[in-house]
A and B are shown apart, each in its own frame.
Chain A
Amino acid sequence: MRIAIASGKGGTGKTTVAVNLAVTIARQGRSVHLCDCDVEEPNAHLFLDPVFSGSWPVTVPVPAVAQDTCTHCGMCAEICEFNSIACLPSRTMIFPDLCHSCGGCWLVCPQKAITPEDETIGSISTGKAGELIFTQGRLIVGKTLVPPLIEAVKDVPGDESWIIFDAPPGTTCPVVATMQGVDFVLLVAEPTPFGRHDLALALELTRQLAIPCGVVINRYEGNPGQVEKFCLREGVEILARIPFRRQIAAACAEGGLAVDADPEVAAAVSGLIDNLRTRAVMA
């Protein structure tokens, strides 16, 4: 089963849920691969202390101009929708940071003066933390082309029975790239007005992508609030409630596991796994 852990809002506990879920599945003796797709701010490794066995760069093709064959006709600059080419009378300039690697310029160039050249945007590392297989992507600071790096991370897992993708916050291209092709999305929400507002956005995205989803309420304080009312009204199932306690927050802050810090969290995560397993069987 391929599961994405997402939320519109940042800091709701996506990584906490992803890591504790993956570790618990591994402790139950099942094969599991956790992928950190939050390549802008990858944090899952901080809780896992993995031993990496492989690491490689991820590149995207960007244009390189052979100035001696270029006639500065301007067709490349004209086809480029991203303003990444400026064609001056005696020089054609490329701004690789704006390039989306569409290939238009090298396809259109009548002189064949433009060739694709690899530009490194980040790296992938893969390894193990105990029995858990772990892969992460890491964007180079200053680069902005995120989706190709996420897609490269998602290409790593093999035939593990559980594959878990920890998504970045938000509802735009990086999140779409993470959710694409998964069987189920877990939306992690916190019971605050900001949390409810952004849960609605993330839910809307899962609907556009037609992926089934369920909600995990993190930092639950015992009274049914507006997040629960919202889920009821929208017909979205709440699959787990993770309580708020200072000692859980303190353990997570130090890179510890919430399931080890509090038996109630351990029970909530086990229940979540049982629930997801019945879904996997049904699917």
Chain B
Amino acid sequence: MRELVVCSGKGGTGKTSVVAGLASLAKDIVLADCDVDAANLHLVLDPVVERSHPFIAGHLARIKQSECLACGKCHQLCRYSAIRQIVDEAGDRTFVIDPLHCEGCGVCVHFCPTEAIDFSSRRCGQWYVSRTPFGPLVHADLDVGAENSGKLVTKVREQARHLAENCGSNLILIDGPPGIGCPVTASLTGADLMLIVTEPSLSGLHDLNRIVELSAHFRIPAMVCINKYDLSPRLTAMVEEYCTKQELPVIGRIPFEPLVNEAQAAGRSLIEYAPRCEASRVVTKIWHCLEFQLSASNQLRG
């Protein structure tokens, strides 16, 4: 079983639209939306949720006011400024923990002299297994402002692997998050191939460079496609020149296609909505390249 991650560094380059397109072309796959901060894949795959589970990860500290002596030890030790000191008119101090700042490290819990801090498990979001016309989809919503996005990504990938094993699927197609931080790292570790979706802009090129560095860091082979390539021929040439230098294959140049928005509004992938447009044709070509690369690396391994 292989894992293909679609990522970009920069946000909004068209990862999710490309993933939806690939999903409608591939056979016997499991889909995983690892952009748990702002998941969108479900909006174009028409999923029917079959199971949903709360995502419990880490802990949240909470002061039991009745047992608190207001000594201030926790306030002094917390390195995240999560513990607020409130002084009332009489000069009495109360300490309160702000859940948005609490990282769940447990230092306050350990050092509280009266054991007045509760440290219960924390619900950080929800994850789902859904049925789509193209195969099962594992997706998740991290609660707004919650911690542990990397752990939720790991959970989504774990479940996707589990499903793939059960249903004999040989490919997991992963929609990755933007950036290069925790959730991206969690999406990439141990994956077999990356498809980097970039765009012809200085920002796109700058961020492409950073995600390529990250792929080298994790030693994951990468291929590139340039989305909306016709918006700036000069920058497309610069992106291609960069890829040649880095020995990265550019496997597709997708033209700017206003129908993408219409397809999104209809809750469909572009391939289903407008199979004959040039962009759909290019995405099909990209899929064939990826399929070939995955089977070639399979043979190498086998």
Residues of A within 8 A of B (CB): 8-12, 15, 40-41, 43, 46-47, 79, 81-82, 100-104, 107-108, 139, 141-142, 144, 146, 168-174, 176, 190, 192-194, 197-198, 201, 204-205, 208-209, 246, 249-250, 252-255
Q: How far is the CB of A244 from chain B (nearest CB, A)?
A: 10
Contact assessment for A204 and B144 in the assembled complex, using a CB-CB cutoff below 8 Å:
yes
Q: How far is the CB of A229 from chain B (nearest CB, A)?
A: 13
Q: How far is the CB of B287 from chain A (nearest CB, A)?
A: 21
Contact assessment for B37 and A171 in the assembled complex, using a CB-CB cutoff below 8 Å:
yes
B150 sits at the interface (CB 8 A): yes
B74-98: CB near A (< 8 Å → 1, else 0) gives 0001011000000000000000000
User: Of B110, B150, B217, which is within 8 A of A141 by CB?
Assistant: B217
**Residues A208 and B145 in contact in the complex (CB < 8 Å), given A79-B107, A139-B181, A169-B38:** yes
Tell me the bound Cα distance from A201 to B149 in angstroms: 15
Contact assessment for A141 and B79 in the assembled complex, using a CB-CB cutoff below 8 Å:
no
**Can you name the residue of chain A whose Cβ is closest to the Cβ of B9?**
A41
Chain A residues lying within 8 Å of B214, measured Cβ to Cβ, are 141-142
Tell me the bound Cα distance from A101 to B77 in angstroms: 12
B161 sits at the interface (CB 8 A): no
Residues of B within 8 A of A (CB): 8-13, 16, 37-38, 40, 43, 58-59, 77, 79-80, 100, 103-107, 110-111, 142, 144-147, 149-150, 177-185, 199-204, 206-207, 210, 213-214, 217, 231-232, 234-235, 256, 261, 264-265, 267
Tell me the bound Cα distance from A191 to B184 in angstroms: 26
Contact assessment for A81 and B104 in the assembled complex, using a CB-CB cutoff below 8 Å:
yes
User: Of A141, A176, A208, A254, which is within 8 A of B210 by CB?
Assistant: A141
Tell me the bound Cα distance from A69 to B179 in angstroms: 41
* Closest 9 A/B residue pairs (Cβ): A10-B11, A11-B12, A102-B105, A170-B37, A253-B201, A40-B179, A10-B178, A253-B232, A43-B203
**Residues A170 and B232 in contact in the complex (CB < 8 Å), given A79-B110, A142-B214:** no
Contact assessment for B100 and A11 in the assembled complex, using a CB-CB cutoff below 8 Å:
no
Q: Max chain B CB contacts within 10 Å: which of A15, A144, A246?
A: A144
User: Of A171, A197, A249, A250, which is within 8 A of B43 by CB?
Assistant: A197
Mind listing 23 A-B residue pairs with CB under 8 Å? A8-B38, A10-B8, A11-B10, A11-B12, A41-B178, A41-B210, A100-B105, A107-B107, A139-B180, A146-B181, A169-B38, A170-B178, A172-B183, A192-B265, A194-B40, A194-B43, A201-B144, A208-B100, A246-B231, A253-B204, A254-B232, A254-B234, A254-B235
**Can you name the residue of chain A whose Cβ is closest to the Cβ of B15?**
A10
Tell me the bound Cα distance from A197 to B217 in angstroms: 33
Chain B residues lying within 8 Å of A10, measured Cβ to Cβ, are 8, 10-12, 38, 178-179
User: Of B80, B182, B267, which is within 8 A of A146 by CB?
Assistant: B182
Contact assessment for A169 and B178 in the assembled complex, using a CB-CB cutoff below 8 Å:
yes
Q: How far is the CB of B103 from chain A (nearest CB, A)?
A: 6
Chain B residues lying within 8 Å of A176, measured Cβ to Cβ, are 100, 145
Chain B residues lying within 8 Å of A41, measured Cβ to Cβ, are 9-11, 178-180, 203, 206-207, 210
Contact assessment for A81 and B59 in the assembled complex, using a CB-CB cutoff below 8 Å:
yes
Contact assessment for B231 and A192 in the assembled complex, using a CB-CB cutoff below 8 Å:
no
Q: How far is the CB of A219 from chain B (nearest CB, A)?
A: 9
Chain A residues lying within 8 Å of B77, measured Cβ to Cβ, are 103, 107
Tell me the bound Cα distance from A171 to B256 in angstroms: 28
Chain B residues lying within 8 Å of A11, measured Cβ to Cβ, are 10-13, 178
- Total contacts A to B, CB within 8 angstroms? 171
Q: How far is the CB of B141 from chain A (nearest CB, A)?
A: 9
Contact assessment for B38 and A168 in the assembled complex, using a CB-CB cutoff below 8 Å:
no
User: Of B38, B144, B264, which is within 8 A of A192 by CB?
Assistant: B264
Tell me the bound Cα distance from A40 to B36 in angstroms: 17
**Can you name the residue of chain B whose Cβ is closest to the Cβ of A199?**
B38
Tell me the bound Cα distance from A43 to B179 in angstroms: 12
Q: Max chain B CB contacts within 10 Å: which of A47, A108, A170, A249?
A: A170
Tell me the bound Cα distance from A46 to B105 in angstroms: 38
Chain A residues lying within 8 Å of B9, measured Cβ to Cβ, are 41
Contact assessment for B40 and A198 in the assembled complex, using a CB-CB cutoff below 8 Å:
yes
Chain A residues lying within 8 Å of B203, measured Cβ to Cβ, are 15, 41, 43, 46
**Residues A171 and B202 in contact in the complex (CB < 8 Å), given A11-B13, A104-B110:** no
Tell me the bound Cα distance from A141 to B218 in angstroms: 11
User: Of A81, A141, A171, A194, which is within 8 A of B264 by CB?
Assistant: A194
Q: Max chain B CB contacts within 10 Å: which of A8, A47, A194?
A: A194
Q: Max chain B CB contacts within 10 Å: which of A102, A190, A249?
A: A102
**Can you name the residue of chain A whose Cβ is closest to the Cβ of B200?**
A253
Contact assessment for A141 and B40 in the assembled complex, using a CB-CB cutoff below 8 Å:
no
Contact assessment for B179 and A168 in the assembled complex, using a CB-CB cutoff below 8 Å:
yes
Q: How far is the CB of A107 from chain B (nearest CB, A)?
A: 7
With A8-B37, A192-B261 already in contact, 14 other A-B pairs whose C-beta atoms are closer than 8 Å: A10-B179, A41-B203, A41-B207, A46-B203, A47-B202, A107-B107, A107-B111, A142-B213, A169-B11, A172-B146, A190-B12, A193-B265, A208-B144, A252-B201
Tell me the bound Cα distance from A175 to B275 in angstroms: 38
